[in-house]
């Protein structure tokens, strides 16, 4: 099987994906929850995205978390480290009382990062679930993220939407003067800074051209990014290393996850006019306030919220 390798041409950049025999570990379903006798006892009615009517015999107990599908969606399969929008209800397995729930209001689904949700069973329940599905989850005490003595909990989760796991656009020709980028099967980039002086102005190139919605100045975008300092060649910030994509306001750089909560506007404003599914490289000078050094960014545009 042919294995792709990185090639530097005229000090430019050729973005390539390390495919060959590699597979994406984030798409592996081995750790996803399976159906079981406890989750199969949960009866659910109602439309997807609306508050469900839920019943189950009490007390209900399990020492192993389980997942049963109530409504089978026909969308893409959810991966680890992907942002998804869900509606959910959680019930006490002993009494049947509601412990917590989302609002189920229009356009107010909860945005959660699969893999780092504070209820561990939610992460493995959402893995390999299709968008558009409703699932019933029997949560073992050890997977509840709280006091294990609380007992089993029952959750009903609607997977309303999922943003792209990585840029899926068409690879574009390289541009001279940009770093070399190599992509892991997950989509995480490795960036090699070329020789030459650090950037003193903002420049960008499109590595992959997406075909989704267009980013505007007032957009809030779901992105994965890595920035490498031009001088010291170290990673400055990376959502890939943090374990989930970021939600960023393009015009202000306001970030949901970045340290300091603001990204350089030189970088975020370079996203304007790009389409969802694109991957771009952005060279930025050092921030005037000293918060970011001159850097090379690789940004995957995964959605607009």
Domain boundary among 129, 162, 195: 162
Comparing 2-11, 200-209, 227-236, which segment has the lowest mean pLDDT? 2-11
DSSP 114: T
DSSP 116: -
pLDDT at 41: 98
pLDDT, tens digit, 9 for 90 and up, residues 51-86: 999 999 999 999 999 999 999 999 999 999 999 999
DSSP 255: B
In a domain, 4, yes or no: no
Average pLDDT over residues 202-220: 97
Sign of CA dihedral 235, 245, 265, 8: positive
Q: Which residue has the higher pLDDT, 21 or 47?
A: 47
Q: What is the domain range of residue 221?
A: 16-22+166-304
Domain with 270 in it: what CATH number? Answer: 3.10.50.40
Distance CA(78)–CA(50), nearest Å, equals 21
**184 and 295 share a domain?**
yes
Q: Which residue has the higher pLDDT, 89 or 146?
A: 89
In a domain, 36, yes or no: yes
Site of tokens 């430019």: 12
Q: Given a cut of 50, is residue 251 above it in pLDDT?
A: yes
Domain boundary among 130, 162, 194: 162
**155 and 183 share a domain?**
no
Distance CA(203)–CA(296), nearest Å, equals 10
Q: Which residues contact 124 (CB under 8 A, 6 or more apart)?
A: 31, 32, 33, 65, 67, 143
Sign of CA dihedral 117, 118, 120, 122: negative
Q: What percent of the chain has pLDDT over 90?
A: 86
Q: Are strands 98-101 and 83-92 parallel, antiparallel or unpaired?
A: antiparallel
Cβ atoms within 10 A of the Cβ of 15, count?
A: 24
**190 and 235 share a domain?**
yes
Q: Given a cut of 60, is residue 20 above it in pLDDT?
A: no
Q: Given a cut of 90, is residue 10 above it in pLDDT?
A: no
Helix, strand, or coil (residue 226): strand
Average pLDDT over residues 79-94: 97
**176 and 276 share a domain?**
yes
pLDDT at 13: 34
pLDDT, tens digit, 9 for 90 and up, residues 148-186: 678 999 999 999 999 999 999 999 998 989 999 999 999
Measured CA distances, 119 to 116, 249, 269, 277 (Å) = 8, 27, 35, 30
In a domain, 5, yes or no: no
pLDDT at 12: 34
Specify the number of domains making up the chain: 2
**138 and 234 share a domain?**
no
Domain boundary among 147, 162, 177: 162
Q: Given a cut of 60, is residue 18 above it in pLDDT?
A: no
Average pLDDT over residues 29-36: 97
pTM: 0.89
């Amino acid at each position: 099987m042919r294995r792709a390798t990185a090639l530097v041409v005229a000090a430019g950049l050729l973005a390539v994906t390390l495919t060959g025999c590699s597979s994406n570990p984030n798409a592996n379903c081995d750790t996803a929850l399976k159906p079981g006798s406890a989750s199969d006892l949960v009866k659910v009615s109602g439309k997807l995205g609306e508050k469900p009517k839920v019943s189950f015999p009490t007390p209900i107990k399990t020492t192993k978390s389980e997942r049963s599908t109530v409504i089978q969606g026909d969308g893409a399969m959810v991966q680890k480290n992907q942002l998804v929008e869900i509606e959910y209800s959680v019930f006490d397995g002993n009494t049947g009382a509601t412990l917590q729930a989302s609002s189920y209001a229009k356009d107010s689904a909860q945005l959660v990062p699969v893999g780092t949700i504070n209820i561990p069973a939610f992460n493995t329940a959402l893995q390999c679930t299709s968008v558009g599905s409703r699932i019933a989850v029997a949560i073992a005490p050890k997977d509840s993220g709280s006091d294990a003595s609380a007992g089993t909990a029952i959750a009903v989760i609607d997977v309303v939407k999922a943003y792209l796991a990585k840029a899926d656009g068409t690879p574009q020709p390289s541009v001279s003067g940009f770093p070399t980028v190599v992509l892991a099967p997950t989509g995480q980039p490795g960036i090699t800074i070329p020789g030459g002086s650090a950037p003193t102005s903002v420049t960008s190139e499109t590595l992959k051209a997406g075909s989704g919605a267009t980013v505007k100045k007032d957009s809030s975008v779901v992105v994965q990014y890595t920035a490498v300092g031009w001088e010291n060649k170290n990673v400055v910030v990376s959502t890939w290393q943090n374990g989930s994509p970021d939600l960023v306001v393009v015009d202000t750089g306001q970030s949901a996850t970045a340290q300091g909560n603001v990204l350089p506007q030189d970088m975020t404003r370079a996203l304007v006019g790009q389409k969802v599914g694109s991957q771009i490289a952005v060279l930025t000078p050092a921030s005037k306030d000293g918060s970011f050094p001159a850097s090379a960014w690789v940004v995957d545009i995964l959605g607009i919220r």
